[in-house]
Amino acid sequence: EPEVTQTPSHQVTQMGQEVILRCVPISNHLYFYWYRQILGQKVEFLVSFYNNEISEKSEIFDDQFSVERPDGSNFTLKIRSTKLEDSAMYFCASRLGTSGARTQYFGPGTRLLVL
Amino acid sequence: AQKVTQAQTEISVVEKEDVTLDCVYETRDTTYYLFWYKQPPSGELVFLIRRNSFDEQNEISGRYSWNFQKSTSSFNFTITASQVVDSAVYFCALSEEQGAQKLVFGQGTRLTINP
């Protein structure tokens, strides 16, 4: 069964460093999302991406964040200059997008720790 | 604006007991989608069910059942004859038809099934 994959599973970085989190969505899906979950808290929407552009972003998704789909398969989230409060689990999700296909399928997550 | 409330932060029951997880939602859209996801201790988000706003039929899948009531804006989840493997955090989520259909999650309910 097709699934969303994410790399790395864990990443430790120093405050101020740039990180890139990678995702490979399910191959025929058209809508892509990033969410984050601070330890012990709920899952929060960051950004959605469709047709090679951002379709919606949350207040969390400030200028330090960017997304791209460089090669038609990978979907990346970049944090330019990490802060301590960026420590969280980051989930990628994808959705087919055809009529009736509303379910988002999530990857296993990348646990980011900023020191 | 969308909002999902899971008032039960933690529930602990003994194996084989039935347990119901509550979910109340708010939305202005007339067409929307409700979801339940399971997050086991390993951390991934596992899709359990999606319900469309125009389909109020309740659903049963094995030991799991869902009760959708538009009149009370609730989408409750019942596990019958609970098992230790059901121990996880369960999230209820909502997406609206308009826009990017981002998921808005509740705070989650941590369910512990004791042997």
Q: What is the pLDDT of residue A98?
A: 65
- Per residue in B2-11, pLDDT (tens digit) is 999 999 999 9
Rounded Cα–Cα distance for residues A9 and B33 (Å): 30
From A42, A109, A111, residue closest to B105, measured CB to CB: A42
H helix intervals, A3-100: none
Confidence of residue A100 (pLDDT cuts 50, 70, 90): low
8 A C-beta contact, residue B26 and residue B92: no
Task: Check residues B101 and A86 and name the one with the higher pLDDT.
Answer: A86
Does residue A43 belong to the interface with chain B, where contact is any CB pair within 8 Å? yes
Task: Return mean pLDDT, chain B.
Answer: 94
Q: Which of B4, B51, B101 to mutate to test the interface with A (most CBs of A within 10 A)?
A: B101
Q: What is the DSSP letter of A83?
A: -
What is the reported pLDDT for B90? 98
Q: Select from A10, A2, A6, A27 the least CA-distant residue to A76.
A: A6
Phi, psi of A25 (to 5 degrees): -70, 170
The stretches of chain A forming alpha helices (DSSP H) are none
Partner-chain contact B101 A95, CB within 8 Å: yes
pLDDT at position B98: 78
DSSP H or E run through A96: none
Q: Is the pLDDT of residue A97 over 80?
A: no
Query: In this model, does residue A66 exceed pLDDT 90?
Result: yes
Q: Does A56 touch chain B (CB under 8 A)?
A: yes
Length of chain B: 115
Secondary structure letter of residue A73 according to DSSP: S
Nearest CB neighbour to B99, from listed A44, A56, A108: A56
Residue B97: predicted pLDDT: 83
Please list every residue in chain A whose beta carbon sits closer than 8 Å to the beta carbon of residue B33: 102
Confidence label for B99 from pLDDT (cuts 50, 70 and 90): confident
pLDDT per residue as tens digits for the range A14-36? 999 999 999 999 988 999 999 99
Q: What is the pLDDT of residues B23-32, one digit of tens each?
A: 999 999 999 9
Per-residue pLDDT averaged across A91-96, rounded? 94
Q: Decide if pLDDT at A77 tops 80.
A: yes
Do A109 and B52 count as a contact with CB atoms less than 8 A apart?
Answer: no
Q: Which pair of tokens denotes residue A69?
A: 């789909």
Q: What confidence score (pLDDT) does residue A36 get? A: 97
**What pLDDT does residue B94 have?**
95
Other Cβ atoms within 10 Å of A16 Cβ, number: 10
Is B69 strand, coil or helix? strand
Max CA distance (Å), chain A: 44
Give one word for B70, left, alpha or beta, with left for phi > 0 and alpha for psi -120 to 50: alpha
Mean pLDDT for the stretch of residues B88-110: 93
A102 pLDDT above the threshold of 80: no
Q: What is the CA radius of gyration of chain A?
A: 13
Residue A71 has pLDDT above 80, yes or no: yes
Maximum Cα–Cα distance across chain B: 45
Q: Is the pLDDT of residue A101 over 90?
A: no
Search chain B and give the residue with CA nearest A54.
Answer: B100
Fill in the amino acid letter for B77.
Answer: F
Residue A35, phi then psi, degrees to nearest 5: -130, 160
**8 Å CB contact of B103 and A104:** yes
Contact B102 A33 (CB under 8 A): yes
